[in-house]
C-alpha cells in the first residue's frame, strides 16, 4: 500500500469522465500542437549543428531577428508608458464615453492583422492621411523600421492596459490616504506607493506584449516595405525561405524564434511566481 | 470597487485653500491633461486606422464597393472563411470543454504543466504555426510521403488551412472555461450525482448552464481569430485564387495588385466583424460579469 500511495496519479473523486476528458485533451493537444512542434525540432536537429549555426547566424537572418526584437522592444516600451496611462485614466477617472473607450481597447485583438496592416499603411504612407504631414518634416514612417514599430505598437496595445487595469482597481485607497496624511505630495504617493504595487502587472503585460510583437506578421508586412537587412522582420524571412523551397533555412530561423518565445514564456511565469510571493497575488 | 474620486474628496478634504481637492486624486487640470493624452494616443493608434478602412473602402462610391464584395473570388473567399471557422471553432469547443472538465473537476499531477501546454500556441508566431504543418505534411515533410500515398492533400488545401486555424485558436475556449470552472468547484456536480443523475446528465443540466456565458465569450474570441487569421493560413494556403484564399488572404492579394479600393472593401467586412465581436464581448462583460472568468486579456 505504501508503494501505491507514492504513485497515486490523481485523487479519488465521485465525478465521472476523468479518463475520457483527459484522454481526449492529451490526444488533441498532441495531434494539433505537440507533434507539429516536434516536427520543427526534428527537422532542425536533422540539419546538424554546423549547418544550423551557419543558417541561424547568416547576416540577413541576424538583421531580421534584430529588427523583430528591437522593434518589439520599442513597441512594448511605448505601450508600457501609454498602457499605464490608459489604465490609470480608465480606472481612476470618470468621463463621458469611458466605458465605450474601455471596450474599444481590445480592437487590436479583434481586428484581423491584415486589415490593421493596410489601414496603418494608408495612414502612414508618405501620401497618407498622417504621413503627408510627417513627410515635410523629413519623417518617413511607412516602408522604414519606424513603420514596423507603429504596427507592433498597434497589435500589442491591449496587453499592458488589460494586465494593469484589474490590479489598479483592487489597490486599497487607504494606503494612498495614509501616504497623503503623512505629508507626501501626490506625485510621491503615486511613484512610491501606487507604482511599486503595479510593477508585477506591468512586467507581465510588458512580457506578453513583447512576445506577441516579436512573432507578429500580418500587420507588419504591408507597412514595413520589407527591404532585406533594413525593414525585413524574422517571420517574413521564414515565409521568403519557404517560397524559395529552402526548408532548412526556414526551419533554422523558426527554431531560433521559438526558443526565444519559450524563454519569454518562462520569464512570464517566473514574474508571476515572484509576484505571488512578493505581493500575495498574481499579476 | 473604485470610489468616485470627487465625492470621496468632498468628504475628506479640508475646506481650506484648495476647496474640494481630494488628497487621493490628481488636480483637475492634471486629470484633464492625462485624459487628453490618453485619448489622443488612442485616436492615432486605434480610431484613425478603423476609420481609414471604411473611408478607403467607400472612396470609389457605393457601386464600386458592392461590386468589390460581390465578385466571384471575393464570394469564394467568404465561403472558405466561414467553412474554416465552422470546422475549427466547434473542434476547439469540444477540446475546451474536455480540457476544462479534466483540469477543473479533478486533482491530478502535472496539472499546471498541462495548462502551460494549452497556452503554448499563443506564444508561437503565426508564421511558425503554419510552418510546422508544412514540415509535417509537406512533400518533404516527416509524414509527407505517408499522406501522399494515401491520396490526401493537406498542405495547400482545406485540411491544412483548418489545422493551422485550429492551432492559432487552440487556447481560446479552454482558457475561458478553466478558471471559472475551477472557481465553481465540484459541489453542484456532486449534489446532482448523489441525487441520481447520470454523469452526462449532470454535465448537460448542471455544469453547462453554470458556464454558458464563459463558453460564449470564448467562442466569440475564438471565432474572431479564426476568421481573421492571416500569418498561419498564408503559409499553408498556397494562395490559389478562388480555391484556397480566405478573406484576409484575398485582402492581401487585392492590395498587392494595387486594387486598393477592393482590398479595403473586403477588409471593411472583416472590420465590421471585429466591431460586432467587440460589441458582443462588452455586452457579456457588462451584463454577465459573474458568469465569465475574472481573467481578462489574452
pLDDT digits (tens, 9 = 90+) for A28-84: 999 999 999 999 999 998 888 999 999 989 999 999 999 999 999 999 999 999 999
Q: Which residue has the higher pLDDT, A218 or A13?
A: A218
Cβ atoms of A132 and A126 within 8 Å: the answer is: yes
Residues 6 or more apart whose Cβ sits within 8 Å of residue A156: A72, A75, A76, A79, A108, A208, A209, A210, A212, A213, A216
Specify the pLDDT at position B261. 94
Q: How many CA atoms lie within 13 A of B252 on its CB side?
A: 27
Closest CA to A36 of B154, B244, B151, B222: B154
Strand, coil or helix: A94: coil
- B21: confidence class by pLDDT, cuts 50, 70, 90: low
A111 vs B274: CB contact, 8 Å cut-off?
yes
- A280: confidence class by pLDDT, cuts 50, 70, 90: low
Please compute the mean of the pLDDT values over residues B253-281 and round it to a whole number: 95
Please compute the mean of the pLDDT values over residues B248-255 and round it to a whole number: 95
Rounded to 5 degrees, what are φ and ψ at B297?
A: 85, 150
Beta-carbon pairs below 8 A across chains A and B: 309
Chain B residues with CB under 8 Å of A225 CB are none
Question: Which DSSP category does B123 fall into?
Answer: G
In terms of domains, do A26 and A110 share one?
no
Chain B residues with CB under 8 Å of A211 CB are 123
A85 vs B38: CB contact, 8 Å cut-off?
yes
User: Is residue A5 situated within a structural domain?
Assistant: no
Q: Which three cell numbers stand for residue B22?
A: 481630494
DSSP of A207-236:
HHHHHHHHH--HHHHHHH---TTTT--HHH
Q: How close, in Å, is residue A231 to chain B by CA atoms?
A: 17
**pLDDT tens string B185-240:** 999 999 999 999 999 999 999 999 999 999 999 999 999 999 999 999 999 998 77
B46 vs A105: CB contact, 8 Å cut-off?
yes
Cα nearest neighbour of A169 on chain B: B2
Q: Which three cell numbers stand for residue B38?
A: 490618453
User: Is residue A208 situated within a structural domain?
Assistant: yes
- A2: confidence class by pLDDT, cuts 50, 70, 90: very low
Specify the pLDDT at position B162. 97
User: Is residue A6 situated within a structural domain?
Assistant: no
**Dist CA B271 CA B263 (whole Å):** 12
Specify the pLDDT at position B139. 83
Specify the pLDDT at position A115. 97
Nearest by CB to residue B106, choosing from A13, A40, A101, is A13
Alpha helices by DSSP H, chain A? 2-6, 18-29, 35-46, 49-56, 59-92, 98-104, 107-110, 113-124, 131-134, 145-155, 157-170, 173-181, 186-189, 195-215, 218-224, 234-243, 247-279
Scored b (16 or more CB within 10 A) or e, A207-233 reads: bbbbbbbbbbbbbbbbbbbbeeeebbb
In terms of domains, do A123 and A259 share one?
yes
B31 vs A247: CB contact, 8 Å cut-off?
no
Please compute the mean of the pLDDT values over residues B249-264 and round it to a whole number: 95
In terms of domains, do A214 and A242 share one?
yes
User: Is residue A67 situated within a structural domain?
Assistant: yes
- A239: confidence class by pLDDT, cuts 50, 70, 90: very high
In terms of domains, do A159 and A251 share one?
yes
A162 vs B296: CB contact, 8 Å cut-off?
yes
Please compute the mean of the pLDDT values over residues B130-137 and round it to a whole number: 94
User: Is residue A151 situated within a structural domain?
Assistant: yes
Q: Which three cell numbers stand for residue A12?
A: 479519488
Give the Cβ contact number of residue A7 at 10 Å: 7
Please compute the mean of the pLDDT values over residues A200-227 and round it to a whole number: 93
Q: How close, in Å, is residue A113 to chain B by CA atoms?
A: 7
Cβ atoms of B279 and B287 within 8 Å: the answer is: no
The torsion defined by the Cα of A146, A147, A151 and A154, in degrees rounded to 10, comes to: 60
**Dist CA A248 CA B131 (whole Å):** 12
In terms of domains, do A28 and A135 share one?
no
Q: Which residue has the higher pLDDT, A280 or A273?
A: A273
In terms of domains, do A138 and A197 share one?
yes
Specify the pLDDT at position B289. 83
B98 vs A20: CB contact, 8 Å cut-off?
yes
Strand, coil or helix: A143: coil
Lowest mean per-residue pLDDT among A249-263, B162-176, B233-247: B233-247
- The complex's ipTM works out to 0.90
Strand, coil or helix: B288: coil
- B2: confidence class by pLDDT, cuts 50, 70, 90: very low
In terms of domains, do A145 and A131 share one?
yes
Query: Best interface-test mutation with B: which of A24, A79, A118 has the largest number of B CBs within 10 A?
Result: A118
Cβ atoms of A162 and A205 within 8 Å: the answer is: yes
**Dist CA B48 CA A111 (whole Å):** 13
Nearest by CB to residue B230, choosing from A112, A189, A238, is A112
Decide if pLDDT at B297 tops 50.
Answer: no
B267 vs A115: CB contact, 8 Å cut-off?
yes
Q: How close, in Å, is residue A184 to chain B by CA atoms?
A: 10
Please compute the mean of the pLDDT values over residues A172-200 and round it to a whole number: 89
What is the percentage of chain A residues whose pLDDT exceeds 70?
96
Specify the pLDDT at position A281. 57
User: Is residue A78 situated within a structural domain?
Assistant: yes
A217 vs B5: CB contact, 8 Å cut-off?
no
Lowest mean per-residue pLDDT among A132-141, A165-174, A207-216, B22-31: B22-31
A111 vs B271: CB contact, 8 Å cut-off?
yes
Q: Which residue has the higher pLDDT, B16 or B275?
A: B275
The residue segments making up the domain with residue A234 are 48-279
Decide if pLDDT at B145 tops 60.
Answer: yes
What is the percentage of chain B residues whose pLDDT exceeds 70?
91
Specify the pLDDT at position B140. 82
Please compute the mean of the pLDDT values over residues A190-219 and round it to a whole number: 92
- A274: confidence class by pLDDT, cuts 50, 70, 90: confident
Cβ atoms of A234 and A68 within 8 Å: the answer is: yes
Chain B residues with CB under 8 Å of A125 CB are none
In terms of domains, do A117 and A249 share one?
yes
Chain A residues with CB under 8 Å of B270 CB are 111-112, 114-115
Please compute the mean of the pLDDT values over residues A114-118 and round it to a whole number: 96
A43 vs B142: CB contact, 8 Å cut-off?
yes
Please compute the mean of the pLDDT values over residues B54-83 and round it to a whole number: 94
Q: How close, in Å, is residue B130 to chain A by CA atoms?
A: 10
- B70: confidence class by pLDDT, cuts 50, 70, 90: very high
Q: How close, in Å, is residue A264 to chain B by CA atoms?
A: 9
Q: How close, in Å, is residue A16 to chain B by CA atoms?
A: 6
Angle between helices B158-168 and B72-105 (to 10 degrees): 50
Give the Cβ contact number of residue A52 at 10 Å: 18
What is the percentage of chain A residues whose pLDDT exceeds 90?
68
Lowest mean per-residue pLDDT among A199-203, B76-80, B95-99: A199-203
A165 vs B296: CB contact, 8 Å cut-off?
yes
Chain B residues with CB under 8 Å of A91 CB are 2
Q: How many domains does chain A have?
A: 2
Cα nearest neighbour of B7 on chain A: A94
User: Is residue A141 situated within a structural domain?
Assistant: yes
Cβ atoms of B97 and B91 within 8 Å: the answer is: no
| CATH code of the domain in which A106 resides | 1.10.3720.10
Cα of B174 vs its chain's centroid, Å? 12
A103 vs B282: CB contact, 8 Å cut-off?
yes
Please compute the mean of the pLDDT values over residues A192-217 and round it to a whole number: 92
B132 vs A104: CB contact, 8 Å cut-off?
no
- B294: confidence class by pLDDT, cuts 50, 70, 90: low
Cα nearest neighbour of A16 on chain B: B199
Please compute the mean of the pLDDT values over residues A221-230 and round it to a whole number: 92
Cα nearest neighbour of A14 on chain B: B190
**pLDDT tens string A78-89:** 999 999 999 999
In terms of domains, do A22 and A81 share one?
no
Q: Which residue has the higher pLDDT, B55 or A13?
A: B55
User: Is residue A72 situated within a structural domain?
Assistant: yes
Chain A residues with CB under 8 Å of B279 CB are 103
- B142: confidence class by pLDDT, cuts 50, 70, 90: confident
Specify the pLDDT at position A273. 84
What mean pLDDT, rounded, does chain A reach?
90
In terms of domains, do A111 and A67 share one?
yes
B37 vs A107: CB contact, 8 Å cut-off?
no
Decide if pLDDT at B295 tops 90.
Answer: no
In terms of domains, do A210 and A74 share one?
yes
Specify the pLDDT at position B20. 59
Cα nearest neighbour of B258 on chain A: A118
Please compute the mean of the pLDDT values over residues A219-229 and round it to a whole number: 93
In terms of domains, do A75 and A210 share one?
yes
Amino acid at each position: 500500500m505504501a508503494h501505491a500511495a507514492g504513485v497515486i496519479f490523481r485523487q479519488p473523486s465521485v465525478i465521472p469522465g476523468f479518463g475520457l476528458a483527459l484522454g481526449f485533451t492529451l490526444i488533441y493537444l498532441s495531434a494539433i500542437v505537440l507533434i507539429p512542434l516536434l516536427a520543427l525540432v526534428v527537422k532542425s536537429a536533422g540539419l546538424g549543428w554546423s549547418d544550423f549555426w551557419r543558417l541561424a547566424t547568416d547576416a540577413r537572418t541576424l538583421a531580421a531577428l534584430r529588427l523583430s526584437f528591437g522593434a518589439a522592444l520599442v513597441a512594448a516600451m511605448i505601450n508600457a508608458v501609454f498602457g499605464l496611462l490608459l489604465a490609470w485614466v480608465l480606472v481612476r477617472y470618470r468621463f463621458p464615453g469611458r466605458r465605450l473607450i474601455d471596450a474599444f481597447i481590445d480592437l487590436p485583438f479583434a481586428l484581423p492583422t491584415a486589415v490593421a496592416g493596410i489601414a496603418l499603411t494608408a495612414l502612414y504612407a508618405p501620401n497618407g492621411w498622417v504621413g503627408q504631414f510627417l513627410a515635410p518634416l523629413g519623417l518617413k514612417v511607412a516602408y522604414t523600421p519606424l513603420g514596423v514599430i507603429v504596427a507592433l505598437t498597434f497589435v500589442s496595445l491591449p496587453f499592458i492596459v488589460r494586465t494593469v487595469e484589474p490590479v489598479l482597481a483592487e489597490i486599497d485607497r487607504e494606503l494612498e490616504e495614509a501616504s497623503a496624511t503623512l505629508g507626501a505630495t501626490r506625485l510621491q504617493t503615486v511613484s512610491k506607493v501606487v507604482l511599486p504595487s503595479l510593477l508585477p502587472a506591468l512586467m507581465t503585460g510588458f512580457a506578453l506584449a513583447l512576445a506577441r510583437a516579436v512573432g507578429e506578421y500580418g500587420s507588419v508586412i504591408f507597412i514595413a516595405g520589407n527591404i532585406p537587412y533594413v525593414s525585413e522582420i524574422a517571420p517574413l524571412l521564414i515565409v521568403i525561405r519557404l517560397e524559395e523551397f529552402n526548408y532548412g533555412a526556414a526551419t533554422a530561423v523558426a527554431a531560433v524564434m521559438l526558443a526565444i518565445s519559450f524563454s519569454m514564456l518562462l520569464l512570464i511565469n517566473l514574474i508571476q511566481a515572484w509576484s505571488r510571493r512578493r505581493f500575495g497575488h498574481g499579476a | 470597487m473604485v470610489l468616485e474620486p470627487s465625492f470621496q474628496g468632498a468628504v475628506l478634504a479640508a475646506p481650506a485653500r484648495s476647496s474640494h481637492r481630494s488628497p487621493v486624486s490628481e488636480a483637475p487640470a492634471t486629470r484633464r491633461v492625462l485624459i487628453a493624452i490618453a485619448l489622443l494616443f488612442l485616436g492615432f493608434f486605434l480610431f484613425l486606422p478603423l476609420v481609414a478602412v471604411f473611408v478607403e473602402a467607400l472612396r470609389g462610391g457605393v457601386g464600386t464597393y458592392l461590386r468589390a464584395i460581390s465578385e466571384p473570388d471575393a464570394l469564394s473567399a467568404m465561403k472558405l472563411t466561414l467553412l474554416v471557422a465552422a470546422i475549427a471553432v466547434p473542434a476547439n469547443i469540444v477540446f475546451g470543454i474536455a480540457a476544462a472538465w479534466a483540469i477543473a473537476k479533478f486533482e491530478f499531477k502535472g496539472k499546471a504543466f498541462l495548462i502551460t501546454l494549452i497556452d503554448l500556441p499563443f506564444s508561437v508566431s503565426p508564421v511558425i504555426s503554419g510552418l510546422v504543418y508544412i514540415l509535417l505534411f509537406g512533400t518533404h515533410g516527416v509524414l509527407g510521403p505517408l499522406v501522399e500515398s494515401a491520396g490526401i492533400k493537406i498542405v495547400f488545401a482545406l485540411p491544412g488551412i483548418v489545422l493551422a486555424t485550429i492551432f492559432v485558436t487552440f487556447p481560446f475556449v479552454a482558457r475561458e472555461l478553466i478558471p471559472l470552472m475551477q472557481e465553481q468547484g465540484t459541489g453542484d456536480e456532486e449534489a446532482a450525482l448523489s441525487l441520481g443523475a447520470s454523469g452526462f446528465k449532470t454535465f448537460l443540466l448542471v455544469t453547462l448552464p453554470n458556464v454558458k456565458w464563459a463558453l460564449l465569450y470564448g467562442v466569440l474570441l475564438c471565432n474572431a481569430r479564426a476568421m481573421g487569421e492571416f500569418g498561419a493560413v498564408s503559409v499553408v494556403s498556397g494562395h490559389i485564387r478562388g480555391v484556397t484564399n480566405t478573406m484576409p488572404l484575398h485582402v492581401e492579394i487585392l492590395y498587392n495588385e494595387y486594387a486598393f479600393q477592393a482590398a479595403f472593401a473586403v477588409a471593411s467586412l472583416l472590420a465590421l466583424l471585429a466591431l460586432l465581436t467587440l460589441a458582443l464581448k462588452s455586452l457579456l462583460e457588462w451584463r454577465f460579469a459573474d458568469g465569465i472568468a475574472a481573467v481578462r486579456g489574452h
